[in-house]
A and B are shown apart, each in its own frame.
Chain A
Amino acid sequence: MEEAHRTVETVARASYGRLLAYLSSETHDVAGAEDALSDALIAALTSWPKDGVPRQPEAWLLTAARHRLIDQARRRRVRHELEGTVRHLAAERAATALTGNTFPDRRAELLFVCAHPAIDPGLHTPLMLQTVLGLDAARIAQAFLVPPATMGQRLVRAKRKIREAGLPFEVPPDDELPQRLDAVLEAIYAAYGLGRDDAAGIDAGAQDLADEAVWLARVVRQRMPEEPEVRGLLALMLFNDARRAARRTPDGRYVPLSDQDPASWSEPAILEAETELSEAAKVARIGRFQLEAAIQSVHAERAHTGRTDWTALVMFYEHLVRLAPTLGARVAQAATVAEAQGPGAGLALLDAIDRVSVATYQPFWAVSAHLLRQVGNHAGAAEAYDRAIGLTEDPAARQFLLERRG
């Protein structure tokens, strides 16, 4: 009994995305496949404790879910739909018979569907979290700070669009690939930290999602090992992860990167990140994520050299801002230039940023405050500290800034 339950849980956790991607790839009906799969999981919970766990639990779930799909189609009594589904399923059965009990991994295709240009970019990440990882709408809503019912409705609408538009479950052709892959990687990176910058600290809820994002990047890398930006993104997230424990003191206080003890960084995570980044570099096709990973790699060097190579960082940021001039990149560039060339040079870069765009962007004000204090503009610094404190969500980061402001 207990063992059967555990097996259902384990299989569901390990194979949910693979099963769902495979079930929905032919019919384009993600919502229908979700229903069928959850019915199959419920059926497993009642039948496995009684009859024992099947030798091939995934194949069992796949068969049960397919039967549900046929039932669904029958219930809809839409004749052509039924015929289509039955034909797909017959073809799949034949394919499965050929390959034994394994079935193809179409999670990468599902990720491309989730980040399809026909889908609202704001829903790319939520769709990935729900379909490939099986997270429920309420949990996703929490991460995105959206009312749970609203998130649920948006996901339902997006899945209807996937079905009605028949969005293709495929890795896009070469001419579309760079842009389409970028959308997938952007969405995975959005899951990682959900816009929370290193300066703002990372809370526990976002950390779970960060783990999931790393996992998604691994899925894509496994499928497309030759794409350097995929490895770049994975490296970037691993470098950041390596510093996870160092971002807080044991009593929960916030520690900025410059004050972190490199001995508390995770060596295995850094090593894996370095490996991914050097594999990516072999392709000699630079991109935004490789540059961001390279920046983190320079920071990680401090563990061995005891110092930070600010000149190298300035160079990488110049490239990055040329390639992807996001607010985050520009503010981080200003902070880096300030370290290399003095606070005045950093402030000049901040001054070039449009004030309207940073009205609610916390890192801009945190860096401004830090640099204004360094040049002796104490009134300006106090003002900027207040803006930063007022825009901070993380209580530990807020406390840190309150103490800095004095």
Chain B
Amino acid sequence: MKCVMLIYESAADLDSRKDPGPAPYVAAWRAYYKALVAAGAYVSGEPLTAGSTSTTVRLKDGRRHVQDGPFAEAKERLGGFIILDVPTLEAGLEWAARCPAAVSGGVEVIPIDVDFHDIVVAP
């Protein structure tokens, strides 16, 4: 099954991107990525920029509402996502537990809605 890991990172962890050379957090991420790929669990993923570059758009009564910042306020910031292909949700949760961001942030695992994907994509 495919699922997405939404990776919420603490401010301190996000800061380590500024000087990635010596940061153990970044080294742990490199190793984590290798292990994911080697185990055949990795499909794709991207880190998201850490600055205040998030903007949320809504349409209410035909009018645009544009808001600085993320959709939901949280102490941690959505710092990236990874799409996994794993045998079970439990296997996905195992990977979430191993994620370096899980120590001071949090990792949300959501199964991908394959049926709805097909409804949208199908001609």
Which residues of chain A have a CB within 8 Å of any CB of chain B?
Answer: 144-147, 150, 359-360, 383, 385-393, 395, 398-399, 402
Contacts and interface: CB of A to CB of B under 8 A. Distances in A.
A181 to B, nearest CB: 28
Contact of B24 (A385, A392, A402): A402
A392 B98 contact: yes
A124 to B, nearest CB: 16
A147 B93 CA distance: 9
A395 B38 CA distance: 21
Contacts of A395: 103
Contact of B90 (A145, A383, A387, A389): A145
A390 B35 contact: yes
A385 B36 CA distance: 14
A146 B32 CA distance: 21
A391 B28 contact: no
Contact of B39 (A360, A383, A393): A360
B30 interface: yes
Contacts of A399: 24
Q: Is chain B's binding surface mostly helix, strand, loop or mixed?
A: helix
27 contacts: A145-B90, A145-B93, A145-B94, A145-B97, A146-B93, A147-B89, A147-B93, A150-B89, A359-B38, A360-B94, A383-B34, A386-B31, A386-B35, A387-B34, A387-B35, A387-B38, A389-B27, A389-B31, A389-B35, A390-B33, A390-B34, A390-B35, A390-B36, A390-B98, A391-B98, A392-B98, A393-B98
* Highest count of chain B CB atoms <10 Å: which of A145, A146, A390, A395: A390
B32 A390 contact: yes
Q: Is chain A's binding surface mostly helix, strand, loop or mixed?
A: helix
Contact of A393 (B30, B40, B90, B97): B97
Nearest to B90: A146
B31 A390 contact: yes
Interface residues of B, number: 22
A390 B28 CA distance: 7
Interface string B66-103: 00000000000000000000000111011001101001
Contacts of B38: 359, 387
Nearest to A145: B93
B34 A386 contact: yes
Contacts of A388: 31
Interface in B5-27: 24, 27
B28 A389 contact: yes
Contacts of B32: 389-390
B63 to A, nearest CB: 39
Nearest to B29: A390
* Highest count of chain B CB atoms <10 Å: which of A359, A387, A398: A398
Given A395-B103, A402-B24, A386 B98 contact: no
* Highest count of chain B CB atoms <10 Å: which of A146, A386, A387: A386
A387 B35 CA distance: 5
A49 to B, nearest CB: 41
B114 to A, nearest CB: 19
B35 A391 contact: yes
